[in-house]
Amino acid sequence: MNIADTTGGTAGPLTLRPGDPGYDEEIAGFQTGFAQRPAVVLAASSADDVLAAVRYAATEHLPIGVQATGHGLPGASEGGVVVTTKRMDGVTVDAGARTVRVEAGVRWGQVVAAAEPYGLAPLNGSAPSVGAVSYTLSGGLPILAREFGYAADHVRSLDLVTADGRLRHVTRESEPDLYWALLGGGHGFGIVTELEIGLVPVRTLYGGSVSFDGRQTGPAALLRAYEKWTRTVPDGLTSSFAAVPYPDIPALPPHLRGRYVVSVRVAYTGADGPELTAPIRGFGPVLADTLREMPYAESRTVHSDPDFPHAYYGDSAVLGELDVAGAGEVLARTGPDAGGPMCVVQINHLGGALARPAPNSVPYRDGRFLVRLLTAGDREQARAVLDPAFALLADVTLGRARGFAFGAGDRTEGFYDAGTRKRLAGLKSRYDPASLFRDDFGVSACR
């Protein structure tokens, strides 16, 4: 069957197969560590193109996935269809309603820039290059998470194509079950073509990071001080702890080459930010201090995530409480003197607005901390580092965060608690009985 047959005589999405000019470039993404070779790549420019792609896949009995920016992966794509949505980049702000409509390929940096002139901000994550839709469908942990909750908590409506070849407009009121499943359940129920998301009235924030030399002041001691400090802050203050062993290479600034940098990152909209964060500087001799009042448009500098494509493998654990001794041992086993591959550790302070109930399937709202480990190498090499590290935290682990399973989505256990998984499975049978969509609420969201 030709894809044009599903478009009612219109051109339909650009169709590429292995060996075609442009195929490799179309399927390439931010994540370079895992190659994809789908049988068909359909490059969508509109919701009608997505509709045609889904109808084609259903008629040909081919599994289908979706890719916007390629930060993650849509699972095993060999023999199937991948729809790329990067050309669907429309952003429309309604300042009066404090909402924004984003198409399937939009990146967060575009939304931040569009909302800023109105004194509004989206609940984006730390990296402006990440796709807004898949980030939100996996829950979405914003820079201001403890003040405003998950990004999924602020979705007003979703437009998507479901397995029956229908383009649906879904709200909490119109289709509450599908709304619940999509927000937290990811791409297993259809391909979302557009989201309407609530914005928050934020022009500026107090944020940045305070960094220490991890060899001069041990990371375990810094973590103990950080955990103690988190018990003193209000719910609206969001922070994380990060340990990064930088390689000694010319591409890095001289002050980072070969250093083991441990940082506390902060984002807060309250006027008392300087007073609340002052104790951080007492954790040890300060290597760098970037805490300041900043426009929200500069919030990306709080974490300063890499903005160039590269290879990585990562996993996570949502903790009911922070086992400081266990996490300290994780730092020891993943630090620069451990002898393994470079491993970045990040520990996010959860709670606050993240703990509030919401009509979606984002799990583990009682989590108090999120531990994220990121490394390079293939799956086998990475798991040799990550599995023993996460085992140290098993007694306090509630589950895993699917939005932070980078390349590790082949392991689906722990993404949801038993009740949430059971309800998602029932709705999957209802909306996609043939499992057309390969992201079966267990595979890492491709973003």
One pLDDT digit (tens) per residue for the chain, 447 residues: 556 555 555 567 999 999 999 999 999 988 877 778 999 999 999 999 999 999 999 999 999 999 998 887 655 577 899 999 999 999 999 999 999 999 999 999 999 999 999 999 999 999 999 999 999 999 999 999 999 999 999 999 999 999 999 999 999 999 999 999 999 998 899 999 999 999 999 999 999 999 999 999 999 999 999 999 999 999 999 999 999 998 888 877 787 888 999 999 999 999 999 999 999 999 999 999 999 999 999 999 999 888 888 788 899 999 999 999 999 999 999 999 888 788 999 999 999 999 999 999 999 999 999 999 999 877 888 889 999 999 999 999 999 999 998 876 667 899 999 999 999 999 999 999 999 997 654 433 333
Do 157 and 125 meet the contact criterion of CB atoms below 8 Å apart? no
User: How many whole angstroms separate alpha carbon 326 and alpha carbon 319?
Assistant: 12
Q: Beta strands of 199-259 (E only): which ranges?
A: 204-213, 238-245
Task: Compute the chain's Rg from CA coordinates.
Answer: 21
**For residue 345, which of 334, 356, 358, 359 has the smallest C-alpha distance?**
334
Name the residue with tokens 């990475």.
382
pTM over 0.85? The answer is yes
User: How many whole angstroms separate alpha carbon 30 and alpha carbon 191?
Assistant: 20
Residues in the chain: 447
**For residue 67, which of 93, 91, 40, 94 has the smallest C-alpha distance?**
40
Stretch (H or E) spanning 42: strand 40-43
Question: Which tokens in the block code for residue 71?
Answer: 């930060």
Q: How many CB atoms lie within 10 A of CB 353?
A: 20
